[in-house]
Structure 1
Amino acid sequence: MKAVEIMMEEHRNIRRMLVKMKKIANDMSLYQSEDMKDIVEFCHGYADEHHHMKEEKILFPEMLKCNYELFEGMINHVMLVEHDNGREHVRNMAALVNDYEEHKDERYLERLSFEMKAYCEVLKEHTEKEDECLYQFAENALSDNAKQRVDALSLEWESLNKERADHFVEVLHHIEKAY
């Protein structure tokens, strides 16, 4: 499925950003305000709004329609819980960046480091589970018609969000060069 190929490429981009986030989290002296804001926006805008929402609105519903009993636990009790966990870390990171910018208190950086590391761990494991298991289940279980629907809807999503997705890939390139 073309949609799965695109989602796996997005996972590779997300994991590339996680590498840089972990580097910064391990040495907060690298903290740069504008870069950190861009990193948080990448996590929110690309990993969640672009990638996770595509899964939640397109792929997961097709999988549940195909075989609810097989996929319900995997999707509702693992994947969606991990999406929500990631969102919580991103909200916390955004708040801590704002708090640090306002107060310049190093304790906010310590907490930010913790949130970044936790987010990195959650998203690394999550994307690996999807690449190695969930997407393979989808490829094997979905009917040809369901695969065509997923591909068509995913390609439409990509078309509508191309400029924004491209922006986030540029943010990734900037962060990779800077760190």
Structure 2
Amino acid sequence: MEKASDELRHEHEAIKIALNVLDSIATKIQQSENVDVQDLKELVEFVVLFADKNHHGKEEDLYFPSLEEVGIPKDGGPIGVMLAEHEQGRSNIRAMRESVSEQNTDLQTFANAAFSYVALMRNHIEKENNILFMMGDRMIPGSIQNELLTKFREHEEKVIDEDKYNELQALLAKLAKKYIS
């Protein structure tokens, strides 16, 4: 049986590619190499739509409440830590977005925010994959797992339709080829 965490782990793989691209771009900026500001804007858009609104939305609105229902604490527990890290990540995303806005291009600020976001999210993903999701796999009953997968589909359709999903994946592949291949 597929578990809800399987889908979340699968999405983590795409997010890790985006983190590798961000890390590469931030390194190029620090080394005073040229980067295409449009690529930065597009990558931030990927992170906003795919990682935050889609993926973190599934976790916050659907998966974490299911974990709470089976007894995993939010306050003072692992869910609270994950939620705090999501907020920290959003702060980094805002800094990246603002640093490459129409009014402002501050590549060093972008690089600093990108490095911070990459470090935070790599650590975050490891904790989710190797601790929280394993707890959920053991504790969330199969019937709830199936419900979660159905609700994940519904959430995804509201946040990013299939065309937007495919567009985001193509963008990620293009940027990965350009910056980490």
Aligned residues: 172
Query: Deviations for 1:14-36, whole angstroms, at most 9, x for unmatched residues?
Result: 11111111111011123211111
Q: Would the alpha carbon gap of residues 103 and 17 (structure 1) be closer, same or farther in structure 2, given more than 3 Å must change? A: closer
Query: Deviations for 1:76-133, whole angstroms, at most 9, x for unmatched residues?
Result: 2x100000000000001000111xx5455xxx21121110000000111111111111
Q: Would the alpha carbon gap of residues 85 and 103 (structure 1) be closer, same or farther in structure 2, given more than 3 Å must change? A: closer
Query: Aligned AA for 1:137?
Result: M
Could you tell me how far apart the structure 2 residues matched to 1:82 and 1:103 are? 27
Preserved CA contact (<8 Å) 1:24 1:30: no
2:11 matched to which residue of 1? 10
Selected match of 2:50 from 46, 51, 58? 46
Selected match of 2:115 from 114, 117, 120? 117
Cα displacement (A) at 1:165: 2.2
Could you tell me how far apart the structure 1 residues matched to 2:91 and 2:41 are? 16
Cα displacement (A) at 1:164: 2.3
Could you tell me how far apart the structure 2 residues matched to 1:178 and 1:24 are? 10
Return the TM-score normalized by structure 1. 0.89
1:128 matched to which residue of 2? 126
Return the TM-score normalized by structure 2. 0.88
Q: Does residue 36 in structure 1 map to residue 40 in structure 2?
A: yes
Cα displacement (A) at 1:57: 0.9
1:81 matched to which residue of 2? 84
148-157 vs 51-60, greater mean Cα deviation: 148-157
1:92 matched to which residue of 2? 95
Query: Aligned AA for 2:115?
Result: K
- Secondary structure (helix, strand or coil) at the match of 2:99 reads helix
Preserved CA contact (<8 Å) 1:50 1:165: no
- Secondary structure (helix, strand or coil) at the match of 2:136 reads helix
Q: Would the alpha carbon gap of residues 33 and 66 (structure 1) be closer, same or farther in structure 2, given more than 3 Å must change? A: same
Query: Deviations for 1:107-164, whole angstroms, at most 9, x for unmatched residues?
Result: x211211100000001111111111111111010112222222122113334453332
Query: Aligned AA for 1:143?
Result: P
Could you tell me how far apart the structure 1 residues matched to 2:39 and 2:83 are? 28
Percent identical pairs in the alignment equals 27
What is the RMSD of the two structures over their aligned residues, measured on CA atoms?
A: 1.7
Query: Aligned AA for 2:133?
Result: Y
Could you tell me how far apart the structure 1 residues matched to 2:131 and 2:14 are? 19
- Please list every run of 5 or more consecutive structure 2 residues that lacks an aligned counterpart in the other structure: none
- Secondary structure (helix, strand or coil) at the match of 1:30 reads coil
Larger relative helix fraction: 1
Q: Does residue 175 in structure 1 map to residue 178 in structure 2?
A: no
